[in-house]
Structure 1
Amino acid sequence: MALKQHLSQKLEQRLSPQQIQLMKLLQVPTMELDQRIKQEIEENPALEEGNDESEDDFDAQDDFEGEDEFGNDDVDFDISDYFDDDTPDYKTQVNNHSRDDEERVIPLSGEQSFQERMMDQLTLVDLDDTQFLIADVLIGNLDDSGYLNREVEAIVDDLAFSMNVMVTEEEVEAVLKVIQELDPAGVGARDLQECLILQINRKQDGDITKFTAKKILEDHFEEFTKKHYTQIQKKLEIEEEDLKEAIDEIIKLNPKPGGSMKEAAKNMQQIIPDFMVTEFEGKLELTINGRNAPELRLSKGYENMLRSYSEGAKTSKSDKEALQFVKQKLEGAKWFIDAIKQRQNTLLLTMTAIMEYQREFFLTGDETQLRPMILKDIADTVGLDISTISRVANSKYVQTNYGIFPLKYFFSESLSTDSGEEVSTREVKKILSDAIEGEEKRKPLTDEKLADLLNEKGYNIARRTIAKYREQLNIPVARLRKEL
């Protein structure tokens, strides 16, 4: 078959570099935008912070080859001051990453880990070399909650095969008891029951309530987990009030002792709202965080440099490459400034539509006033694509008179009532949580009774849907909500 050449013309839709840059900027929150701008200023010397007071700003889209388009400005510029040879530095830089690649780095924590804090305590205990080695292996096998999830026999095998240390299970058990005496109380336990017993033992001071709590954990733990309080009361032959005090003492214990140290060492994340909605005399006012609207400008020095080069003879190869480099940097700076302005406009446009759509909520703060709203509703209102609205709603927060909310909070599915009215599922969840909060704790409402309660209020909802909403609200089943 002979090879043939032919011309063809077809229409394709491709994203320009500017569109890709705008999409990436849309989805970053305020704090990340700050870092992104600083990074761009470091990488592009033609971009500067501050107001551009000149009205005839430099337009990066102009044709830079014409000499008559620039004014006469005597600026002395010697290329030898910036380049050591005929090959510019930017020609020797290597970058094997695509422009679209996102740089992902692993943050390093300056805080001590849970295991490191345990080892610091271990140095204060009188142990011989073998015992210290056993303790090191045991602490290394503790999970984030502070539990030892491996069998002692497996620890013995590890020491024998990987470290050539021959020990017995009794020796490992003895060192484990030493670890269990370290802080926090309950660390080194092999299950929840042992963890709680270790903690209650430290609180034993002759108090009858704590003694009763210990007996419940040691002898009636299964009944306690299933909340069979009547059986426990009969077996221990105690009054209901005594049982209630003992259970209150158990509830104070920490089921994840290792997690408490982990939480203490973790830095708290600070939320910077991207928008602020305020209400004054029945009118809503929307403002955007000033960090989302930074003042950026093109470098005057680079503009003048480009004028100087364009007016020169450009006879040498280095002059032409330098002109192309300056032109490229100015174009990049102009694109970035335009992308930041488009980001600001898109954020304001989208948030304004959300504010108007959920106007009653922003005026009252009542969660039941939230209307059903999906991404398509806002996309149709503002005339943008659904993916653009999704990027705007991602990791963005709004400050209101009733607290700070993520934008995703205002999006919810709809549910039909008996009258045919469409209500937000968030409204149903609020009624559900209020009903559970006001229930009699001795006889909590089952999912079936909750479904009947909502049906009486006019919400067509099945029992399995109640169970789904309850799980989304992190509310346990009725049996586990039972209290004395």
Structure 2
Amino acid sequence: MSLSQSLQQKLLQKLSPQQIQLMKLLQVPTANLEERIKEELEENPALEMDEDRHEDEYTDELQDEFDNQEADDLDPDGSVEDYENVDISEYVMEDDGEIADYKLKDDNYPEMDDQKIIPIKVETSFHDLLLDQLGMLELDERSLKIAEQVVGSLDDDGYLRRELSSIADDLAFRQSLQVDEKEIETIIHQIQQFDPPGIGARDLKECLLLQLKRKLSEGIGVELAIQVLSRYFDEFTKKHYEKIQRGLNLSDEQIREVISQIIKLNPKPGGHIGEINKAESYIVPDFFIINNNGKLELTLNAKNAPDLRISEGYRDMLKDYDKGNKKDKRQKEAILFIKQKIDSAKWFIDMIKQRQETLINTMSAIMKHQREFFLTGDETTMKPMILKDIAELTGLDISTVSRVANSKFVQTEFGTYRLKFFFSESLSTDSGEEVSTREVKKILSDLIEAEDKRKPLSDELLTDMLREKGYNIARRTVAKYREQLNIPVARLRKEL
């Protein structure tokens, strides 16, 4: 194959640095926006927070009066001629008294006060709790190292899912201890006596049995439960109660007592201890929707409109340069650096403003489309809505709407919802009307909730009931919706 050269003309679309920055900012939820702004403040000294709520002196009047390419084309030797055209007149203009649009926000709602500090609870972690109990055992140095390795191998839910051979290898490589699996097993049995009961189990069956053995003094029901889990664990998880009754010769009353004892147990003994309680673990709403006598009012979280401005100190430096007579090479290099930082700060402020406008436009379109839901809170009133619908209403790209919907929350009087919650496909009724699949899921959930748990409704019966209500739906679709709602099949919903 011969090599050749050719000239081609192509039309390409490329995102500008500002567009890329905007796309990244759109994906940042309100809870993390403050951290992102702090990063920008640290990187750019020309940008600062206007804590006293002064008017921004630069957002409206700072202009791109110099060409960035001009700065990029400067010769490496930095000759004086390269800086002769530096113009700072637009940077030292006096303020015209106008307030930037991004600062026009409503602070009348006390729940939107961005000065509030979320308290962070101080608590003992799950592993620290176990290490404290470990100190109460009379162990020699060797056994203590093995026990600490076992405790460190426990999952956050309290299970030991690592193989004993892997734990032995870790001790050999990290602690220079040669131990056999029997020695590790002995330590594990001691750790399994710690609180909460069930700690150190290898699987769910062992976890439940450890908890039941702590309750042996509570009566015959606990002993029967231990027998059921020991001999018929798989049958119990699949609710084959008839087979268990025949195998152990249990009456209906006894099997009900066994079920009562087992469902009281904790399948994740370590899951509720020492949860990390950080500020970001809370849902911080990006929007607030208030029903004011039938009129919906949308407000953006105040954290999305921070008070940013260009540093006054940088403006003073430009003024001093403009008034000075001696303008040597070093001064002009410094001024060029200052102008670049000011432009970077201006771009960031503009991106924050565009982010705010995009969020408001997107949420306004969603609120308009799902108005009945925001007024009533009834999921059956929700309309079919896809990303394309909102993109057409707002004039935004579908990918932009998707970025907003995937990471933002709205607080209503009925609860806090992720924006993605309001998007759903459509389903045709017998009358030809298009309804939201969310409406069908709500009706399906209500039917299952109201069913007789002794005779739960099968997917076939649920399909027939939905068709009687006018929803043209297949059985496999009902099964899919039921799985999406995390509802088990009829046999597993059966109660004695």
Structure 1 length as normaliser, TM-score? 0.83
Task: Write the mapping of 1:226-375 to structure 2, written as runs, cut at 5 A.
Answer: 226-261=238-273, 264-265=275-276, 267=278, 269-313=281-325, 315-375=327-387
Aligned AA for 2:200?
A: G
CA positional deviation for 1:123: 2.0
More displaced stretch, 172-181 vs 231-240: 231-240
Given that 1:393 and 1:407 are in contact with CA atoms closer than 8 Å, whether structure 2 keeps it comes out as yes
Aligned AA for 2:29?
A: P
More displaced stretch, 199-208 vs 311-320: 311-320
Aligned AA for 2:317?
A: M
The question of 1:455 aligning with 2:476 is answered no
What is the aligned partner in structure 2 of residue 61 from structure 1? Answer: 64
Q: Secondary structure at the match of 1:250?
A: helix
CA positional deviation for 1:358: 0.4
CA positional deviation for 1:258: 3.0
What is the aligned partner in structure 2 of residue 406 from structure 1? Answer: 418
Cα shift readout 1:204-232 (whole Å, capped 9, x = no counterpart): 22423323322322333333222122333
Cα shift readout 1:49-83 (whole Å, capped 9, x = no counterpart): 2332669964232358347768799xxxxxxxxxx
Query: For residues 38 and 394 of structure 1, what CA distance do their matches in structure 2 show?
Result: 23
CA positional deviation for 1:13: 2.3
Task: Write the mapping of 1:143-158 to structure 2, written as runs, cut at 5 A.
Answer: 143-150=155-162
Given that 2:430 and 2:472 are in contact with CA atoms closer than 8 Å, whether structure 1 keeps it comes out as yes
More displaced stretch, 174-183 vs 53-62: 53-62
Given that 2:196 and 2:270 are in contact with CA atoms closer than 8 Å, whether structure 1 keeps it comes out as yes
Q: Secondary structure at the match of 1:394?
A: helix
Query: For residues 329 and 18 of structure 1, what CA distance do their matches in structure 2 show?
Result: 14
Q: Secondary structure at the match of 1:276?
A: strand
RMSD: 3.2
Query: For residues 133 and 280 of structure 1, what CA distance do their matches in structure 2 show?
Result: 64
What is the aligned partner in structure 2 of residue 27 from structure 1? Answer: 27
Query: For residues 235 and 10 of structure 2, what CA distance do their matches in structure 1 show?
Result: 73
What is the aligned partner in structure 2 of residue 40 from structure 1? Answer: 40
Query: For residues 20 and 252 of structure 1, what CA distance do their matches in structure 2 show?
Result: 52
Q: Secondary structure at the match of 2:187?
A: helix
- Over 3 Å counting, the alpha-carbon distance change for 1:160 and 1:270 in structure 2 is closer
Q: 2:234 aligns with which of 222, 227, 241?
A: 222
Query: For residues 358 and 277 of structure 1, what CA distance do their matches in structure 2 show?
Result: 12
- Over 3 Å counting, the alpha-carbon distance change for 1:332 and 1:208 in structure 2 is same
Q: Secondary structure at the match of 1:277?
A: strand
CA positional deviation for 1:366: 0.3
Cα shift readout 1:321-367 (whole Å, capped 9, x = no counterpart): 01101111111121122111111111111111110000110111000
Aligned AA for 2:20?
A: I
What is the aligned partner in structure 1 of residue 69 from structure 2? Answer: none
Q: Percent identity?
A: 59
Q: Secondary structure at the match of 1:135?
A: helix
The question of 1:385 aligning with 2:385 is answered no
Aligned AA for 1:185?
A: P
Q: Secondary structure at the match of 1:278?
A: strand
CA positional deviation for 1:396: 0.8
Q: Secondary structure at the match of 2:64?
A: coil
Aligned AA for 1:458?
A: G
CA positional deviation for 1:280: 2.0
- Over 3 Å counting, the alpha-carbon distance change for 1:336 and 1:156 in structure 2 is closer
Given that 2:46 and 2:341 are in contact with CA atoms closer than 8 Å, whether structure 1 keeps it comes out as yes
Q: 1:139 aligns with which of 139, 147, 151?
A: 151
- Over 3 Å counting, the alpha-carbon distance change for 1:72 and 1:415 in structure 2 is closer
Query: For residues 293 and 350 of structure 2, what CA distance do their matches in structure 1 show?
Result: 36
CA positional deviation for 1:407: 0.7
Aligned AA for 2:24?
A: K
CA positional deviation for 1:481: 1.2
Q: Secondary structure at the match of 2:284?
A: coil
Aligned AA for 2:65?
A: D
Q: Secondary structure at the match of 2:473?
A: coil
Q: Secondary structure at the match of 1:254?
A: coil
Given that 2:59 and 2:309 are in contact with CA atoms closer than 8 Å, whether structure 1 keeps it comes out as no
Query: For residues 216 and 39 of structure 1, what CA distance do their matches in structure 2 show?
Result: 58
Query: For residues 6 and 259 of structure 2, what CA distance do their matches in structure 1 show?
Result: 86
Which runs of 5 or more structure 1 residues have no equivalent in the other structure? 74-109
Given that 2:56 and 2:310 are in contact with CA atoms closer than 8 Å, whether structure 1 keeps it comes out as no
Q: Secondary structure at the match of 1:404?
A: strand
The question of 1:125 aligning with 2:137 is answered yes
Cα shift readout 1:102-130 (whole Å, capped 9, x = no counterpart): xxxxxxxx976644443332221112344
Structure 2 length as normaliser, TM-score? 0.81
Query: For residues 55 and 2 of structure 1, what CA distance do their matches in structure 2 show?
Result: 55
What is the aligned partner in structure 2 of residue 13 from structure 1? Answer: 13
Query: For residues 353 and 146 of structure 1, what CA distance do their matches in structure 2 show?
Result: 46
More displaced stretch, 379-388 vs 293-302: 293-302
- Over 3 Å counting, the alpha-carbon distance change for 1:311 and 1:256 in structure 2 is same
- Over 3 Å counting, the alpha-carbon distance change for 1:179 and 1:466 in structure 2 is same
Query: For residues 206 and 476 of structure 1, what CA distance do their matches in structure 2 show?
Result: 32
Query: For residues 154 and 28 of structure 1, what CA distance do their matches in structure 2 show?
Result: 40
CA positional deviation for 1:141: 3.9
Given that 2:192 and 2:199 are in contact with CA atoms closer than 8 Å, whether structure 1 keeps it comes out as yes
State the number of aligned residues. 447
Query: For residues 311 and 216 of structure 1, what CA distance do their matches in structure 2 show?
Result: 91
What is the aligned partner in structure 1 of residue 214 from structure 2? Answer: 202
